[in-house]
Amino acid sequence: MHTPLGAQLRQQPATAPLAETLEAIAGAGLVLAEKLRRARLEDVIGEAGAVNVQGEAQQKLDVLADELLLEKLSRCSAVAAYASEEQARPRMLRADGRYCVLCDPLDGSSNIDVAVPVGTIFGVLPCGKGAAPESALLQPGRVLLCAGYLLYGSSTALVLASAAGVDLFVLDPGRGEFLLAQRGLRMPAERKIYSINEANINGFDGGLQRWLHFAHENGYGARYIGSMVADVHRTLLRGGVFLYPATAANPQGKLRLLYECNPMASVMERAGGAATDGAAAILDIAPEALHQRCPVILGSSAEVARVCAHLCAS
Ligand code: AHG
Ligand code: MN
Ligand code: MN
Protein backbone atom coordinates (compact mmCIF):
# COMPACT_ATOMS: atom_id res chain seq x y z
CA MET A 1 0.00 0.00 0.00
CA HIS A 2 1.53 3.37 -1.04
CA THR A 3 0.96 6.21 1.43
CA PRO A 4 -0.59 9.37 -0.10
CA LEU A 5 1.52 12.55 0.12
CA GLY A 6 -0.81 14.27 2.58
CA ALA A 7 -0.80 11.37 5.01
CA GLN A 8 2.98 11.02 4.71
CA LEU A 9 3.58 14.72 5.40
CA ARG A 10 1.54 14.51 8.55
CA GLN A 11 3.54 11.48 9.76
CA GLN A 12 6.76 13.52 9.69
CA PRO A 13 7.55 16.26 12.21
CA ALA A 14 6.66 18.74 9.46
CA THR A 15 4.13 21.16 10.89
CA ALA A 16 0.70 21.43 9.36
CA PRO A 17 1.51 24.81 7.70
CA LEU A 18 4.56 23.26 6.02
CA ALA A 19 2.47 20.28 4.92
CA GLU A 20 -0.13 22.70 3.54
CA THR A 21 2.59 24.58 1.62
CA LEU A 22 4.04 21.40 0.12
CA GLU A 23 0.59 20.14 -0.82
CA ALA A 24 -0.05 23.45 -2.60
CA ILE A 25 3.11 22.93 -4.68
CA ALA A 26 2.07 19.33 -5.41
CA GLY A 27 -1.39 20.58 -6.38
CA ALA A 28 0.14 22.99 -8.89
CA GLY A 29 2.24 20.12 -10.23
CA LEU A 30 -0.85 17.97 -10.69
CA VAL A 31 -2.50 20.63 -12.86
CA LEU A 32 0.73 21.39 -14.73
CA ALA A 33 1.33 17.72 -15.54
CA GLU A 34 -2.02 17.60 -17.33
CA LYS A 35 -1.44 20.96 -19.05
CA LEU A 36 1.89 19.68 -20.39
CA ARG A 37 0.32 16.46 -21.70
CA ARG A 38 -2.31 18.46 -23.60
CA ALA A 39 -0.09 21.44 -24.51
CA ARG A 40 -0.04 20.79 -28.26
CA LEU A 41 -3.77 20.08 -28.35
CA GLU A 42 -4.61 23.28 -26.45
CA ASP A 43 -2.04 25.43 -28.26
CA VAL A 44 -0.10 26.46 -25.17
CA ILE A 45 3.16 25.48 -26.86
CA GLY A 46 5.65 28.15 -27.88
CA GLU A 47 6.79 31.55 -26.73
CA ALA A 48 4.65 33.91 -24.68
CA GLY A 49 6.09 36.91 -26.51
CA ALA A 50 7.76 38.33 -23.39
CA VAL A 51 11.29 38.18 -21.97
CA ASN A 52 11.92 37.40 -18.29
CA VAL A 53 14.35 39.15 -15.97
CA GLN A 54 17.04 36.74 -17.16
CA GLY A 55 16.65 38.10 -20.69
CA GLU A 56 15.27 34.73 -21.80
CA ALA A 57 12.19 34.38 -24.01
CA GLN A 58 9.37 33.06 -21.81
CA GLN A 59 7.43 30.03 -22.98
CA LYS A 60 3.64 30.23 -22.57
CA LEU A 61 3.93 27.37 -20.07
CA ASP A 62 6.63 29.19 -18.07
CA VAL A 63 4.07 31.95 -17.45
CA LEU A 64 1.22 29.51 -16.82
CA ALA A 65 3.30 27.49 -14.33
CA ASP A 66 4.41 30.63 -12.51
CA GLU A 67 0.84 31.97 -12.23
CA LEU A 68 -0.42 28.55 -11.06
CA LEU A 69 2.19 28.28 -8.28
CA LEU A 70 1.60 31.88 -7.19
CA GLU A 71 -2.15 31.33 -7.07
CA LYS A 72 -1.86 28.09 -5.03
CA LEU A 73 0.75 29.48 -2.63
CA SER A 74 -1.11 32.75 -2.09
CA ARG A 75 -3.89 30.64 -0.51
CA CYS A 76 -1.46 29.13 2.05
CA SER A 77 -1.68 30.77 5.45
CA ALA A 78 2.04 30.32 6.15
CA VAL A 79 3.68 31.65 2.98
CA ALA A 80 5.15 35.14 3.42
CA ALA A 81 6.73 35.50 -0.02
CA TYR A 82 7.07 33.80 -3.39
CA ALA A 83 10.15 34.31 -5.56
CA SER A 84 10.59 32.75 -8.98
CA GLU A 85 12.72 32.70 -12.08
CA GLU A 86 9.83 34.35 -13.92
CA GLN A 87 9.34 37.30 -11.53
CA ALA A 88 11.85 40.17 -11.43
CA ARG A 89 11.02 40.80 -7.77
CA PRO A 90 9.58 38.63 -4.97
CA ARG A 91 5.82 38.68 -4.46
CA MET A 92 4.98 39.54 -0.83
CA LEU A 93 1.97 37.51 0.30
CA ARG A 94 1.61 37.75 4.11
CA ALA A 95 3.45 39.84 6.68
CA ASP A 96 2.95 37.11 9.31
CA GLY A 97 4.00 34.24 7.05
CA ARG A 98 6.49 31.63 8.24
CA TYR A 99 8.01 30.51 4.94
CA CYS A 100 9.47 31.97 1.77
CA VAL A 101 9.07 29.78 -1.29
CA LEU A 102 11.57 29.86 -4.15
CA CYS A 103 10.62 28.32 -7.49
CA ASP A 104 11.79 27.57 -10.96
CA PRO A 105 8.21 27.06 -12.16
CA LEU A 106 9.19 25.24 -15.32
CA ASP A 107 12.73 23.96 -15.73
CA GLY A 108 13.92 22.85 -19.13
CA SER A 109 11.10 24.72 -20.82
CA SER A 110 12.95 24.95 -24.14
CA ASN A 111 12.29 21.21 -24.38
CA ILE A 112 8.50 21.36 -24.05
CA ASP A 113 7.69 21.37 -27.76
CA VAL A 114 9.70 18.19 -28.36
CA ALA A 115 8.11 16.25 -25.47
CA VAL A 116 11.35 15.96 -23.48
CA PRO A 117 10.84 15.75 -19.67
CA VAL A 118 10.65 19.09 -17.85
CA GLY A 119 10.17 19.93 -14.18
CA THR A 120 9.39 22.33 -11.36
CA ILE A 121 12.06 23.07 -8.73
CA PHE A 122 11.19 24.46 -5.29
CA GLY A 123 12.75 25.40 -1.97
CA VAL A 124 11.10 26.44 1.31
CA LEU A 125 13.06 28.83 3.54
CA PRO A 126 12.18 29.83 7.10
CA CYS A 127 11.03 33.43 7.41
CA GLY A 128 11.13 34.63 11.00
CA LYS A 129 7.97 36.40 12.16
CA GLY A 130 8.19 40.02 11.17
CA ALA A 131 11.43 39.42 9.24
CA ALA A 132 11.70 41.26 5.93
CA PRO A 133 11.00 38.54 3.33
CA GLU A 134 13.48 40.15 0.92
CA SER A 135 16.32 39.38 3.37
CA ALA A 136 14.82 35.98 4.26
CA LEU A 137 15.04 35.00 0.58
CA LEU A 138 18.80 35.68 0.51
CA GLN A 139 19.70 32.95 3.02
CA PRO A 140 22.22 30.19 2.25
CA GLY A 141 20.66 26.97 0.99
CA ARG A 142 21.91 25.21 4.13
CA VAL A 143 18.86 26.59 6.01
CA LEU A 144 16.26 25.25 3.56
CA LEU A 145 13.51 23.52 5.57
CA CYS A 146 12.71 21.38 2.58
CA ALA A 147 13.40 21.38 -1.14
CA GLY A 148 12.78 19.25 -4.14
CA TYR A 149 11.28 19.01 -7.56
CA LEU A 150 8.49 17.67 -9.72
CA LEU A 151 9.53 15.81 -12.87
CA TYR A 152 6.97 15.59 -15.70
CA GLY A 153 8.33 12.55 -17.52
CA SER A 154 7.14 9.04 -18.40
CA SER A 155 5.65 9.26 -14.91
CA THR A 156 5.16 12.37 -12.80
CA ALA A 157 7.55 12.21 -9.86
CA LEU A 158 7.79 14.40 -6.77
CA VAL A 159 11.09 14.27 -4.85
CA LEU A 160 11.03 15.87 -1.41
CA ALA A 161 14.16 16.44 0.69
CA SER A 162 13.88 17.44 4.35
CA ALA A 163 15.73 16.76 7.59
CA ALA A 164 13.95 13.39 7.60
CA GLY A 165 15.68 12.42 4.32
CA VAL A 166 14.74 12.22 0.63
CA ASP A 167 11.44 10.64 -0.38
CA LEU A 168 10.08 9.83 -3.84
CA PHE A 169 6.38 10.15 -4.62
CA VAL A 170 4.76 9.20 -7.93
CA LEU A 171 1.49 10.54 -9.31
CA ASP A 172 -1.35 8.04 -9.58
CA PRO A 173 -3.24 9.71 -12.45
CA GLY A 174 -6.37 7.69 -11.73
CA ARG A 175 -6.59 8.92 -8.13
CA GLY A 176 -5.13 12.35 -8.87
CA GLU A 177 -2.72 12.14 -5.96
CA PHE A 178 0.96 11.54 -5.29
CA LEU A 179 1.76 8.23 -3.59
CA LEU A 180 4.92 7.36 -1.67
CA ALA A 181 7.10 5.12 -3.84
CA GLN A 182 10.43 5.14 -2.00
CA ARG A 183 11.59 6.49 1.39
CA GLY A 184 15.04 7.57 2.41
CA LEU A 185 16.74 7.56 -1.01
CA ARG A 186 20.54 7.21 -0.80
CA MET A 187 22.85 7.92 -3.75
CA PRO A 188 25.55 5.51 -4.93
CA ALA A 189 28.94 6.93 -3.79
CA GLU A 190 30.28 6.55 -7.32
CA ARG A 191 29.02 5.77 -10.79
CA LYS A 192 30.75 6.28 -14.15
CA ILE A 193 28.13 8.57 -15.70
CA TYR A 194 28.78 12.24 -16.44
CA SER A 195 26.26 14.82 -17.59
CA ILE A 196 27.53 18.04 -19.16
CA ASN A 197 26.96 20.06 -22.33
CA GLU A 198 30.25 19.23 -24.08
CA ALA A 199 29.51 21.82 -26.79
CA ASN A 200 30.89 24.35 -24.28
CA ILE A 201 34.21 22.50 -23.84
CA ASN A 202 36.40 25.27 -25.29
CA GLY A 203 35.23 27.59 -22.50
CA PHE A 204 35.88 25.08 -19.67
CA ASP A 205 38.60 25.59 -17.05
CA GLY A 206 41.78 23.63 -17.93
CA GLY A 207 41.35 21.35 -14.93
CA LEU A 208 37.82 20.55 -16.05
CA GLN A 209 39.03 19.71 -19.53
CA ARG A 210 41.57 17.32 -17.96
CA TRP A 211 38.81 15.72 -15.85
CA LEU A 212 36.70 15.27 -19.02
CA HIS A 213 39.67 13.56 -20.70
CA PHE A 214 40.01 11.32 -17.59
CA ALA A 215 36.33 10.38 -17.94
CA HIS A 216 36.74 9.61 -21.65
CA GLU A 217 39.75 7.39 -20.87
CA ASN A 218 38.18 5.55 -17.93
CA GLY A 219 34.96 4.08 -19.28
CA TYR A 220 32.46 6.79 -18.26
CA GLY A 221 29.12 6.98 -20.05
CA ALA A 222 27.67 10.36 -21.12
CA ARG A 223 24.03 11.32 -20.53
CA TYR A 224 22.74 14.86 -21.10
CA ILE A 225 19.01 15.58 -21.43
CA GLY A 226 19.22 19.36 -21.20
CA SER A 227 16.56 19.63 -18.50
CA MET A 228 18.28 20.03 -15.13
CA VAL A 229 15.47 18.24 -13.28
CA ALA A 230 15.68 15.18 -15.56
CA ASP A 231 19.50 15.05 -15.42
CA VAL A 232 19.51 15.48 -11.63
CA HIS A 233 16.78 12.86 -11.11
CA ARG A 234 18.79 10.27 -13.06
CA THR A 235 21.88 11.24 -11.05
CA LEU A 236 19.97 10.87 -7.77
CA LEU A 237 18.67 7.40 -8.66
CA ARG A 238 21.66 5.95 -10.57
CA GLY A 239 24.61 8.02 -9.37
CA GLY A 240 27.14 9.93 -11.48
CA VAL A 241 27.90 13.65 -11.78
CA PHE A 242 26.02 16.55 -13.37
CA LEU A 243 27.83 19.77 -14.20
CA TYR A 244 26.96 23.19 -15.50
CA PRO A 245 30.32 24.97 -15.08
CA ALA A 246 31.42 28.46 -16.04
CA THR A 247 31.46 28.74 -19.84
CA ALA A 248 32.43 31.44 -22.33
CA ALA A 249 28.74 32.39 -22.72
CA ASN A 250 28.00 32.11 -18.98
CA PRO A 251 31.14 33.04 -16.96
CA GLN A 252 29.17 32.53 -13.68
CA GLY A 253 27.52 29.37 -14.99
CA LYS A 254 23.98 29.34 -16.37
CA LEU A 255 21.98 27.92 -13.47
CA ARG A 256 20.52 30.14 -10.77
CA LEU A 257 21.68 29.70 -7.18
CA LEU A 258 18.47 30.32 -5.25
CA TYR A 259 15.88 28.30 -7.15
CA GLU A 260 17.88 25.76 -9.16
CA CYS A 261 21.25 25.01 -7.53
CA ASN A 262 20.31 25.33 -3.85
CA PRO A 263 17.21 23.07 -3.93
CA MET A 264 19.07 20.46 -6.00
CA ALA A 265 22.13 20.70 -3.74
CA SER A 266 19.86 20.11 -0.75
CA VAL A 267 18.44 16.97 -2.37
CA MET A 268 21.94 15.72 -3.20
CA GLU A 269 23.42 16.27 0.28
CA ARG A 270 20.38 14.83 2.09
CA ALA A 271 20.72 11.72 -0.10
CA GLY A 272 24.45 11.36 0.73
CA GLY A 273 25.77 13.11 -2.38
CA ALA A 274 27.58 16.42 -2.83
CA ALA A 275 27.16 19.76 -4.63
CA THR A 276 29.83 22.41 -5.12
CA ASP A 277 30.60 25.43 -7.28
CA GLY A 278 34.13 24.06 -7.64
CA ALA A 279 35.42 25.97 -4.63
CA ALA A 280 32.74 25.70 -1.91
CA ALA A 281 29.61 23.72 -1.06
CA ILE A 282 26.70 25.28 -2.92
CA LEU A 283 24.62 25.30 0.27
CA ASP A 284 27.17 27.50 2.04
CA ILE A 285 27.22 30.26 -0.59
CA ALA A 286 25.88 33.53 0.85
CA PRO A 287 23.44 34.82 -1.79
CA GLU A 288 23.73 38.46 -2.83
CA ALA A 289 21.00 38.70 -5.47
CA LEU A 290 17.77 36.87 -6.23
CA HIS A 291 18.72 35.76 -9.73
CA GLN A 292 22.46 35.25 -9.32
CA ARG A 293 23.97 32.35 -11.21
CA CYS A 294 26.64 29.93 -10.03
CA PRO A 295 28.67 27.07 -11.50
CA VAL A 296 27.42 23.69 -10.25
CA ILE A 297 29.00 20.24 -9.94
CA LEU A 298 26.66 17.80 -8.16
CA GLY A 299 26.08 14.09 -7.72
CA SER A 300 27.80 11.07 -6.18
CA SER A 301 30.29 12.20 -3.53
CA ALA A 302 33.29 10.34 -5.02
CA GLU A 303 32.53 11.62 -8.52
CA VAL A 304 32.21 15.24 -7.36
CA ALA A 305 35.49 14.82 -5.46
CA ARG A 306 37.21 13.54 -8.63
CA VAL A 307 36.13 16.63 -10.58
CA CYS A 308 37.33 18.94 -7.78
CA ALA A 309 40.66 17.09 -7.56
CA HIS A 310 41.30 17.92 -11.22
CA LEU A 311 40.21 21.55 -10.72
CA CYS A 312 42.58 21.94 -7.76
CA ALA A 313 45.44 20.38 -9.73
CA SER A 314 45.10 23.04 -12.43
P1 AHG B 1 15.07 26.88 -17.54
O2 AHG B 1 14.23 26.20 -18.57
O3 AHG B 1 14.41 26.96 -16.19
O4 AHG B 1 15.60 28.22 -18.00
O5 AHG B 1 16.34 25.95 -17.26
C6 AHG B 1 17.06 25.48 -18.34
C7 AHG B 1 18.40 25.02 -17.86
C8 AHG B 1 18.40 23.63 -17.21
O9 AHG B 1 17.15 23.00 -17.21
C10 AHG B 1 19.36 22.82 -18.05
O11 AHG B 1 20.23 22.06 -17.25
C12 AHG B 1 20.14 23.89 -18.82
O13 AHG B 1 19.26 24.98 -18.98
C14 AHG B 1 20.58 23.40 -20.17
O15 AHG B 1 21.33 24.46 -20.73
P16 AHG B 1 22.09 24.24 -22.12
O17 AHG B 1 21.00 24.09 -23.16
O18 AHG B 1 22.92 25.49 -22.29
O19 AHG B 1 22.93 23.00 -21.99
MN1 MN C 1 15.64 25.96 -14.83
MN1 MN D 1 12.55 27.80 -15.74
What's the pLDDT score for residue 51? Answer: 84
Amino acid identity for residue 215 in this structure: A
- Cβ of 107 less than 6 Å from ligand 1: yes
Bridge partners, residue 103, by sequence: 84, 122
Give the pLDDT of the chain (314 residues) as one tens digit per residue: 789 999 988 886 558 899 999 999 999 999 999 999 999 898 888 888 888 888 888 889 999 999 999 999 999 999 999 999 999 999 999 989 999 999 999 999 989 889 999 999 999 999 976 667 678 899 999 999 999 999 999 999 999 999 999 999 999 999 999 999 999 999 999 999 999 999 999 999 999 999 999 999 999 999 999 999 999 999 999 999 999 999 999 999 999 999 999 999 999 999 999 999 999 999 999 999 999 999 999 999 999 999 999 998 86
- Cβ of 98 less than 6 Å from ligand 1: no
- Which ligand neighbours the alpha carbon of 225 most closely? 1
User: Which of ligand 1's atoms lies nearest the C-alpha of 255?
Assistant: 7
User: Which of ligand 1's atoms lies nearest the C-alpha of 109?
Assistant: 2
What's the pLDDT score for residue 113? Answer: 87
What's the pLDDT score for residue 132? Answer: 73
- Cβ of 197 less than 6 Å from ligand 1: yes
Are the C-beta atoms of residues 137 and 123 closer than 8 Å to each other?
no
What's the pLDDT score for residue 43? Answer: 83
**Count of other CB atoms within 10 angstroms of residue 288:** 8
> How close is the Cα of 278 to the center of ligand 3, in Å?
23
User: Which of ligand 1's atoms lies nearest the C-alpha of 56?
Assistant: 4
What's the pLDDT score for residue 49? Answer: 85
Alpha-carbon distance of 65 to 31, in angstroms, equals 9
What's the pLDDT score for residue 183? Answer: 96
What's the pLDDT score for residue 11? Answer: 80
User: Which of ligand 1's atoms lies nearest the C-alpha of 247?
Assistant: 18
> How close is the Cα of 46 to the center of ligand 3, in Å?
14
- Cβ of 254 less than 6 Å from ligand 1: yes
Are the C-beta atoms of residues 271 and 185 closer than 8 Å to each other?
yes
Whole-model pTM: value is 0.97
DSSP for residue 190: -
The residue whose CA has the least distance to atom 8 of ligand 1 is 228
Kindly give the pairing relationship between strand 241-244 and strand 193-195: parallel
- Cβ of 293 less than 6 Å from ligand 1: no
> How close is the Cα of 51 to the center of ligand 2, in Å?
15
- Cβ of 108 less than 6 Å from ligand 1: yes
The residue whose CA has the least distance to atom 16 of ligand 1 is 226
